[in-house]
Structures are given as C-alpha cells and as structure tokens.
Amino acid sequence: MKVLAAMSGGVDSAVAAARAVEAGHDVVGVHLALSRMPGTLRTGSRGCCTIEDSRDAWRACDILGIPYYVWDFSERFKEDVVDDFIAEYAAGRTPNPCMRCNERIKFAALLEKALALGFDAVCTGHYAKVIEDGEGNRELHRAADWAKDQSYVLGVLTHEQLKHSMFPLAETPSKAEVRAEAERRGLSVANKPDSHDICFIPDGDTRGWLAERIDMAEGAIVDTDGEQVGTHPGANAFTVGQRRGLKLGTPADDGKPRFVLEIRPKENKVVVGPERMLAVDQLRGIKVSWAGLPIDQVVNGGEFECMAQVRAHGDPVDAVAWMEDGGEGQAELVVRLNEPMRGVAPGQTVVLYQGTRVLGQATLDSARSMERPELQPTH
C-alpha cells in the first residue's frame, strides 16, 4: 500500500512510520504545518508545531530512508480547530481540540489530500486498533496498552475515515516499549518528552489565552439558590467540575469546597455548589457518529448496553443508550448511566464502548443532574 505517515516529530509517529516501512508499505512522511507563525524551538510540553519538531520528523524520515514533506494546513486548522475551540468556550461549553483535529484535519483534510495524491492510507502514532471483519467492515478498538489507549480521541472517526486509517502501535504493550524500539532503530526522538498540552496554547495557560480572544466581563458567581457568593472575571473561561480559581472568600455553609456546576454564558453567571451536585445520571448528545457500521447493524433493539467514557483517560461507566429524534432530522443519543458521573461538561464528547470496541460518539449537549433535575441545556 502507499501510506502517508503523519509525523508530528514525536516518538510515537516515528515508530509507527518505521513499522509501516517494515511491513513493506511504500511510505512517505508528512509533517503538518498547523501554525502560520511556528516557534523556532520546542518549549514546555508542546509536542508539535515548532520548527524543531518539524526537523525531528525530518530526521526520523532520514533514518527510515523515506521522503519527507511539510504540508500546510494552518488555515484549515485555524478555522476547524482553533476558532471552534474559542467559539465553544464562548458558548459556555468545554471542547476537546485534539478530537476535533483528528476529525477535521488528520482524518479529513489530510486524508482527502492523501487519497487525491494517490495514497491508500494515513498512518499515525495513535494507540488504538482497527479490526476488519470478514466483509471488509472496519471496527475501532482500544489499544493493547490501556494506560496509553487513545481510542477515545479517535472515537469520532467514521467508517469512511477508518477505512483509510492505520495505527501500527495498536498491539504495543507499553510506551516504554516504543521508546526502546525507537532507540534500537536509531531514532533520535527516542527520549523526547511526551506532549500533553494543547498544541496551540504555548505556555499551557488556557484561561489567559482565552481571555485574549473572548470578550470577558466580570460577573456573578452564584449558588444553586441564585444567591451571589462571589465574582468572576468572565464566565467563559470556566469548566464544569472546576474547583480551583474560583477565589471565593467565604466558605460554604457546610465548610466543604465548592465546584463549578454550570456556566450560563448569556447571563454571564457561574453556578457553584458542593461536589455531590456534580453527579449526573443521564447524558444527551448531538452530532452523533458511529465508528464503523451504523449502530442498528451492530446492536439489536432500540436500547443497547454499553460503557460510556467522557474524557481521554476517564473511567468508563456501565450504561444503557438509545437514539431519539431530536427534531429537524437530527438524531440525538441518550445515555443512561448505571452509576453517576461527576464533572460532565457540555461540549465534551461521550464515547461509547462494548468491551474493547468503540461504538461511536456524540457531543454532550446536556446532562441530567440527580439533585438538580431543573438544569437546562445550554443551547
């Protein structure tokens, strides 16, 4: 196969490309230029987007003996990921930009260009597994190493996208193994630190970064009865479940810490309350997609048992899910949780699993709080 290896400059994508080469594929390395003004050197825990990262990717390709190119997706990245990130926060939601990048850049813009230029697949260093059934249908599964498993951030991929995806790190028992393999292969990125911040926020200060881009106005922090308990510099920089940074002078009646329960962007209010009030027992999601065949071909009946996960390394929770008509032809996913979850924010993605298999995902639109059933959706 002709394979395009997306090379971030990190160790995972370098080893993934190496394995694709070793498997006999015709591999070309491509680094995605996602920033119009790339920094010269890598700083902190950012794992991509600087010229140094581009050079690291280039050197890995040299060692593997494959051609290397840089393709510019900065404009698409800005519109589809960065602007979307800002708009979601401005609307009081909590987006996952890495997921958005997988959905719209790596496995859409890049994949489309790759297919047009004659490639058969895009290969990345994600820890996840693609399995094909006897009829050529693709399924997405968790990686062998659950600690590194990245199936959550790939849960948004559709059958069409999975058809052209290749994840050579699927069966790797651990990250340490990948580093050792990189060392063995003479890849200089073997000991490069992991990246874990949002790549387009260089210093990791998400709130400060957002404050420069969203009109923030001081507003009230209120309790669940509507009583003002403090002020905030701008509601949009908060996330449901957040505890730090509220700067509430007076303690709550029960003396326990208070958490962000809800953000009301229109009223510029942040609602806080005790931790137990964060518990939700039902989720409702929009923009539903299935990671493989449509759900009615995977499960029988309207309701199906599954496990729901709402963040990259969150614990999955047993649940029962079904589809409802949300009006205007939009299907909505409803997930009833067998045990409550805490700190679920609108805008987050719920990914559904059966065993290791990813069924699909939806963007959370609202969650039903067990103690506050009056809570309204944010849109």
Only one of the segments 232-240, 248-256, 314-322, 356-364 lies at the binding site for other proteins (rule: CB under 8 A); that segment is: 356-364
Asked if residue 165 binds other proteins (CB under 8 A), the reply is no
Asked if residue 336 binds other proteins (CB under 8 A), the reply is no
Listed residue (138, 71, 55) closest to 109, CA to CA: 71
Q: Is 89 helix (H, G, I), strand (E, B) or coil?
A: helix
* Residue 61 annotated as catalytic: no
Catalytic hit among 48, 49, 61, 101? 101
Contact between 228 and 222 under an 8 Å Cβ cutoff? The reply is: yes
CB of 100 to other proteins, least distance (A): 8
Residue nearer to other proteins on the CB measure, 112 or 303: 112
In the structure encoding, which two tokens stand for residue 251, read together?
A: 């303690």
Asked if residue 259 binds other proteins (CB under 8 A), the reply is no
Residue nearer to other proteins on the CB measure, 108 or 278: 108
Only one of the segments 10-18, 115-123, 142-150, 228-236 lies at the binding site for other proteins (rule: CB under 8 A); that segment is: 115-123
Asked if residue 323 binds other proteins (CB under 8 A), the reply is yes
State how far the Cα of 297 lies from the Cα of 162, in Å rounded to an integer. 17
6 Cβ contact list (under 8 Å, min separation 6): 13, 30, 31, 32, 106, 110, 122, 123, 124
Asked if residue 322 binds other proteins (CB under 8 A), the reply is no
User: What torsion, rounded to 10 degrees, do the Cα atoms 201, 203, 208, 210 define?
Assistant: 0
Which one among 1, 63, 299, 331 touches other proteins, defined by CB under 8 A?
331
Which one among 128, 222, 279, 295 touches other proteins, defined by CB under 8 A?
295
CB of 206 to other proteins, least distance (A): 21
Which one among 158, 188, 224, 356 touches other proteins, defined by CB under 8 A?
158
Asked if residue 113 binds other proteins (CB under 8 A), the reply is yes
Residue nearer to other proteins on the CB measure, 30 or 261: 30
Asked if residue 109 binds other proteins (CB under 8 A), the reply is yes
Give how far Cα 237 sits from Cα of 77, 127, 208, 278, Å: 22, 31, 8, 18
State how far the Cα of 342 lies from the Cα of 340, in Å rounded to an integer. 7
Gyration radius from the chain CA atoms? 22
Residue 267: other Cβ atoms inside 10 A? 12
Only one of the segments 63-71, 217-225, 235-243, 273-281 lies at the binding site for other proteins (rule: CB under 8 A); that segment is: 63-71
State how far the Cα of 347 lies from the Cα of 241, in Å rounded to an integer. 13
Asked if residue 108 binds other proteins (CB under 8 A), the reply is yes
Asked if residue 368 binds other proteins (CB under 8 A), the reply is no
The sign of the CA dihedral 13, 16, 22, 26 is negative
In the structure encoding, which two tokens stand for residue 25, read together?
A: 């594929």
Question: In a 10 Å sphere around its CB, with 0-12 CB exposed, 13-18 middle and 19+ buried, how is residue 327 labelled?
Answer: exposed
Asked if residue 59 binds other proteins (CB under 8 A), the reply is no
Number of residues interacting with other proteins: please give it, by CB under 8 A. Answer: 43
Site string for other proteins, 24-53 (x = CB under 8 A): -------x-x----x------------x--
Strands of the sheet containing 258-264, edge to edge, are 228-232, 219-222, 269-274, 258-264
Residue nearer to other proteins on the CB measure, 111 or 235: 111
State how far the Cα of 253 lies from the Cα of 142, in Å rounded to an integer. 44
Which one among 59, 71, 90, 370 touches other proteins, defined by CB under 8 A?
71
Which one among 85, 89, 107, 259 touches other proteins, defined by CB under 8 A?
107
Q: Which residues bind other proteins (CB under 8 A)?
A: 31, 33, 38, 51, 54-55, 67, 69-76, 100, 103-104, 107-109, 111-113, 116-118, 156, 158, 160-161, 287-290, 294-295, 323, 329, 331, 360-361, 363
Catalytic annotation, residues: 101, 199
